[in-house]
């Protein structure tokens, strides 16, 4: 099975490779606010994870976070990326962590250093209270009926309003872009399967290995995140050997969409300085 059988991706720009992994219910368009600037200096690979966006969503497919991470590592290998930066939001942050460990293991076996840096944007990392939308998605037949019957734009708008601090980020265009895939029965089934397997069975082993990810790492968080709380980012930054934490004031879970300019500035600063970075903590002001 090739990465194209599990993922969809786009590639723009030239330079050091950045691989972008979106969150639950999202797609590669989540990163659009950053791409015009980043693609002028970087090779930007934006990925639709299995079952999301325009990626395949076959019945019986593997939509677990572990399966997604393997598919991402396979893609990095298939594209022959060297020293790439994995950038993941929310669910994609958890995928990035597992894929990073996979790439490091492969490097020991193959002698090819494919992982250069890691960026977790409000990323899943440790066991925590389930976000409400994931909890609901795991409610079996009830969730299936709800996903099928409820108006998709209404459902997405309510979910987004519950997780942002900046309500102006919930635009009609964004709502529709996230609602459109939910009109497909195959994708709704994939969403639910992902929710059911969103915590890997070996989560304790994975978190115990986080200190093995000895590459420059940025943990980028909204201070008012109600989905993956800032305490997760603080712990992750402290356990990554070369981790640093950047927080955005008056910002919820949708960091890129709520604070596009400020979050991009923090990312660019990290990318430019990370070759000699040391662990630290950056806090931005409250401006939009």
Residue ranges per structural domain of the chain: 3-128+200-283
CB 27 within 8 A of CB 177: yes
For 3-128+200-283, which CATH class?
alpha beta
**For helices 185-196 and 140-149, angle between their N-to-C axes, nearest 10 degrees:** 150
pLDDT at 1: 66
CB 212 within 8 A of CB 101: yes
Q: With 70 as the cut, is the pLDDT of residue 285 above it?
A: no
Token digits of residue 282 = 């950056």
Whether the pTM exceeds 0.85: the reply is yes
**For helices 152-163 and 172-179, angle between their N-to-C axes, nearest 10 degrees:** 120
Backbone phi, psi, residue 70, to 5°: -65, -40
Per-residue confidence band for 279, with pLDDT thresholds at 50, 70 and 90: very low
Per-residue confidence band for 277, with pLDDT thresholds at 50, 70 and 90: very low
- Distance, CA of 193 to CA of 79 (rounded, Å): 28
Q: With 60 as the cut, is the pLDDT of residue 284 above it?
A: no
- Distance, CA of 285 to CA of 288 (rounded, Å): 9
- Distance, CA of 18 to CA of 31 (rounded, Å): 12
- Distance, CA of 89 to CA of 119 (rounded, Å): 9
């Amino acid at each position: 099975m090739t990465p194209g059988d599990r993922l969809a991706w786009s590639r723009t720009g030239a330079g050091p490779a950045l691989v972008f992994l979106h969150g639950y219910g999202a797609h590669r368009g989540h990163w659009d606010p950053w791409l015009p600037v980043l693609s002028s200096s970087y090779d930007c690979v934006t990925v639709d994870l299995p079952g999301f966006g325009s990626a395949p969503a076959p019945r019986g497919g593997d939509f677990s976070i572990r399966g997604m991470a393997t598919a991402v590592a396979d893609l990095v290998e298939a594209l022959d990326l060297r020293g790439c930066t994995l950038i993941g939001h929310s669910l994609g942050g958890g995928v990035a962590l597992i894929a990073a460990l996979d790439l490091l293991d492969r490097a020991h076996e193959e002698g090819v250093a494919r992982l250069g840096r890691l960026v977790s944007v409000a990323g899943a990392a440790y066991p925590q209270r389930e976000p409400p939308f994931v909890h609901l998605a795991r409610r079996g037949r009830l969730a299936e009926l709800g996903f099928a019957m409820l108006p998709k734009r209404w459902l997405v708008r309510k979910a987004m309003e519950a997780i942002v601090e900046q309500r102006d980020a919930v635009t009609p265009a964004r709502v529709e872009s996230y609602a459109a895939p939910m009109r497909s029965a195959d994708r709704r089934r994939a969403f639910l399967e992902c929710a059911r397997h969103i915590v890997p069975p070996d989560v304790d082993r994975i978190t115990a290995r986080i200190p093995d990810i000895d590459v420059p790492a940025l943990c980028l968080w909204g201070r008012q995140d109600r989905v993956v709380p800032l305490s997760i980012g603080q712990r992750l930054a402290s356990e990554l050997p070369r981790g640093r934490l950047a927080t955005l004031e008056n910002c919820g879970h949708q960091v890129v969409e709520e604070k596009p300019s400020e979050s991009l500035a923090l990312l660019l600063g990290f990318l430019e300085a990370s070759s000699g970075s040391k662990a630290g903590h950056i806090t931005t002001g409250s401006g939009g």
